[in-house]
Structure 1
Amino acid sequence: MTVQLYARDVGSGTPLVLVHAFPLSSAMWLAQREGLASRFRVITPDLRGFGGSVLGDDEPSVDTMADDLARMFRNLGVRRAVVGGLSMGGYVAMALCRRHPELVLGLVLAATRASADTGPVRETRLRQAERLERDRSPRVLVDEVLPGLVGPTTYRQRALIYGRVRGLVQATPPLAAAWAQRAMAARPDAFDTLRGLRAPALVMIGDEDALATEDEARAMADALPNAELLVIPRAGHLCAVEQPDLFNQAVAEFAAALARTAR
């Protein structure tokens, strides 16, 4: 089944496609749409099953998610874009680089990793997927995933942001979350893709991230032929939501430099 992704599309200029984290939707990019649309065309899709996009009946796969994105590029008339992904969005962005490298002007990888899941992580994903399908409720995500999404500083000092993230997790469609967990559990190692990438890259990690580590971020930056690494202070896994000004500034500088060289 061909799935047409719902996407928010604001601003003009160099296209910037931002792919959301699990188990959220494009709603997580509110501060990026508000902060970057004056300089860039900011496109924030909902991956299949999340937000305004239907799930379809394909087998779970990050490759399918990447192909959905490529189809969205064509539908929106976007030839090339700076593609950014946070967490699950990073896995999809790396799959897009492998399957459709001609679409990627630059790559932003935030709070993600290029290695495949370890056995225990894969088992946790599959267990959660089964429970999501059985309960038809996001309760397991609220109990097990939400606590790792923001850092201690956000938890203590940014109650509004934590509340918003909690609300987004509670609104997650259970079957979409189960599909995505199975897709992530089956994804391959992406280091070969990164080593072969011609486009420049920016790798970001929050210094309080409990789900992805600075070592994993550094390994991606080292594998990429042309990459810089930025550690965002006082931010956990959702660094773009927790420290939007710092995230936006870094992405804007990266994308503006690419736009100049692409002319």
Structure 2
Amino acid sequence: MDHLPLVLLHAFPLDSRMWDGVRNTLDPITPDLRGRDRQPPDLGALADDVLAELDAHGHDRVILGGCSMGGYVAMALLRRDPSRVAGLVLADTRFTADGEEARANRLVMADRVVAEGLEWVPDTVLGGLLGAAPADGVAERVRELILAQDPAEVAWAQRAMAARPDSREVLAGVDVPALVLVGAQDTLTPPTAARELADVLPQGSYVELPDAGHLTPVEVPQAFAEAVSAWRDRVGV
């Protein structure tokens, strides 16, 4: 079966290398999301970059996917031009805006990263990003990816995510096949939030992946890739 191109947008605070474990199976397009100090920080700027990359490669319509922050950017792209999206793959993400406390925490982290750099970040976030017993090498790989980032980009992304709007109405108006995946041990966007997301989508399907936390494509790449492949075959995208 011929499939449309699949675009996968990475989570925070990582880069496109987080998709390395699913490349052989899914053959995705994986842009690196970079704010480049555009002001004010707005995930819509990243969505514009993704659209420009699709234009450069001549892709009129794609299956658009994202994990965590990548899901937020996918929602921002839907605000820009939903006609480019023939299907959605949303992993470990939510449609709601941040509450006051979560927004404040993002801004505090952004300021600290600017002031101190990234050395402290892995020890602070790894417990929330990964499941209870990640496979050998996973925590070390995620730590490596975090420390490879530009502190200015990490701060920009946090500020942009803090400013993002609620996306319920946007998603409710996108009547295309959609797959929502979540790690059973995800504490940041737990299965309850993923089910709510799937319910908002007119053609939403829900898959819960055991033995994974918030970074399902990194923690259980084979299960993630198989779930996406099976869904694409089932819905014909």
2:4 touches 2:62 (CA, 8 Å); kept in 1? Answer: yes
- State the Cα distance separating 1:72 from its structure 2 match: 1.0
- State the Cα distance separating 1:56 from its structure 2 match: 4.6
- Give the AA of the match of 2:228: V
Give the structure 2 partner of residue 52 of structure 1.
Answer: none
TM-score normalised according to structure 1 size: 0.86
1:235 aligns with 2:212: yes
* 1:223-249 CA-partner distances (Å, limit 9, x unpaired): 111111111001000011111111101
Higher relative contact order (CA 8 A, sep 6+): 2
- Give the AA of the match of 2:165: P
Structure 1 residues 74 and 58: CA distance shift in structure 2, 3 A: farther
Matches within 5 A, 1:187-202: 187-202=164-179
Q: Point out where structure 2 has 5 or more consecutive residues left out of the alignment.
A: none
Give the structure 2 partner of residue 43 of structure 1.
Answer: 29
> What is the rounded CA distance, in whole Å, between the counterparts of 2:230 and 2:79 in structure 1?
25
Give the structure 2 partner of residue 9 of structure 1.
Answer: none
- State the Cα distance separating 1:35 from its structure 2 match: 2.1
> Residue 34 of structure 1: which of 24, 33, 36 is its match?
24
2:16 touches 2:31 (CA, 8 Å); kept in 1? Answer: yes
> Residue 67 of structure 2: which of 73, 86, 94 is its match?
86
- State the Cα distance separating 1:171 from its structure 2 match: 1.1
> What is the rounded CA distance, in whole Å, between the counterparts of 1:144 and 1:118 in structure 2?
20
Give the structure 2 partner of residue 120 of structure 1.
Answer: 101
Q: Point out where structure 1 has 5 or more consecutive residues left out of the alignment.
A: 1-11, 50-54
> Residue 159 of structure 1: which of 118, 132, 136 is its match?
136
> Residue 144 of structure 1: which of 124, 128, 131 is its match?
124
TM-score normalised according to structure 2 size: 0.95
- State the Cα distance separating 1:257 from its structure 2 match: 3.8
> What is the rounded CA distance, in whole Å, between the counterparts of 1:188 and 1:36 in structure 2?
30
Give the structure 2 partner of residue 71 of structure 1.
Answer: 52
> What is the rounded CA distance, in whole Å, between the counterparts of 1:175 and 1:146 in structure 2?
20
Q: Percent identity at matched positions? A: 45
SS at match of 2:133: helix
1:82 touches 1:255 (CA, 8 Å); kept in 2? Answer: no
Structure 1 residues 28 and 80: CA distance shift in structure 2, 3 A: same
> What is the rounded CA distance, in whole Å, between the counterparts of 1:249 and 1:14 in structure 2?
17
RMSD between aligned residues? 1.5
1:146 touches 1:169 (CA, 8 Å); kept in 2? Answer: no
> What is the rounded CA distance, in whole Å, between the counterparts of 2:57 and 2:63 in structure 1?
15
Q: How many residues matched?
A: 236
> Residue 185 of structure 1: which of 152, 162, 167 is its match?
162
- State the Cα distance separating 1:139 from its structure 2 match: 2.5
Give the structure 2 partner of residue 106 of structure 1.
Answer: 87
